[in-house]
Amino acid sequence: MKKPTIPVYFYAVAAMLFWGMSFVWSSILLKYYQPITIIFIRLLISSIFLFCIIILFGKFQKIRRRDYKWFLLSALFNPFLYFLGENYGLKYSTSTIAAVIIATIPVFSPLAGYLAYREKLRLFNFIGIGLSFGGITIMLLSKGMQLQVSFLGVLFLGGAVVSALLYTIMLKKLSATYSPLNIIGIQNFIGIFLFLPLFLIFEFPQALSITPNREIISSFLMLAILASSLSFVFFAHTVKILGIIKANIFSNLIPVFAALFSFWILDESFTMQKIIGIVIVILGVYITEINRKKRLPRS
């Protein structure tokens, strides 16, 4: 493994910043468009950008026939089901809460590993899951023990987490043969056609009635190029240098960035209850990742 340098930490933080900001950009676009329209345009721009990069630098890899099913299945989970859950969750929730729930994906990854590959579950896995649930509960419940956000929103976000976990199982198979640029580019391209019928049937007329302004255009470009393209490239570089475990620890920053920029740009409340919830969730993720790091054999 290569020795870590300052630039790799810059790439890691930049990727988390873009992913954290993606919840803010999506919230802005939800003022104008329905979720499927946002996802469709986001994937369209991202695919064009990624394939331009792939062609420009000669990085295209031909897909083997036996891998067609894995690309289709992985694209079904992400971007299709994942983005449906994330964007509809955002519609019925807030940027901060959505980011915190999505940030629990590393906590539940060992559970997916156990179900798919019979990887062992440790005590720290259950501690991390318990802390994360506790932190989310603190953020979701008011002093009167009532939900502060729509249960439907939480349900959609939970579905996004499950989709992401199933996606990692498919990704493990593909990443052994294909580069991140090719995997993300092809999956986003397939995602366009998965969302196209839904877009044409349910949201096309409403999307045509809106005249894009500077806020819409800038949000789409930043969401597609920074959050759906460059962030994946940056994160792949981070994984290559630091390894999966160390790289995943940076995911703790996603809800922090989302909360700060939601407060600054969207005027979301930043209460002590929300801060405590974020800290507890991050602690749960951190404990899970540190435990996984300790179990790694020396290279």
Query: Would you say 36 and 199 are in contact if contact means Cβ atoms under 8 Å apart?
Result: yes
User: Domain residues of the chain, as ranges?
Assistant: 6-295
CA pair distance 282, 293, nearest whole angstrom: 16
pLDDT value of residue 187: 93
Q: What is the pLDDT of residue 27?
A: 94
- Dihedral sign from CA coordinates of 148, 149, 150, 151: negative
Q: How many C-beta atoms lie closer than 10 Å to residue 295's C-beta?
A: 13
pTM for the predicted model, two decimal places: 0.85
299 residues of the chain, pLDDT tens digit each? 455 566 888 988 899 899 999 999 999 999 999 999 999 999 999 999 999 999 998 888 999 999 999 999 999 999 999 999 999 999 999 898 898 888 888 777 777 767 766 667 677 777 877 887 788 778 777 665 566 678 899 999 999 999 988 887 787 788 878 888 899 999 999 999 999 999 999 999 999 999 999 999 999 999 999 999 899 888 877 777 776 656 767 777 888 888 889 989 988 877 788 788 888 888 877 776 665 555 544 43
Residue among 33, 17, 127, 47 nearest 87 (CA): 33
Residue of 235, 247, 258, 254 lying closest to 289 (CA atoms): 247
CB-CB contact of 284 with 128 (8 Å): yes
CB count in 10 Å sphere of residue 224 = 24
What CA–CA distances, in Å, run from 205 to 116, 164, 217, 253, 292?
Answer: 42, 31, 19, 38, 49
Q: How far apart are CA 235 and CA 222, in angstroms?
A: 17
Q: Which is it for the CA torsion 3, 176, 99, 228, positive or negative?
A: positive
- Angle between helix 253-265 and 95-102 (nearest 10): 170
> 262, 201, 247, 239: which is closest to 30 by C-alpha?
262
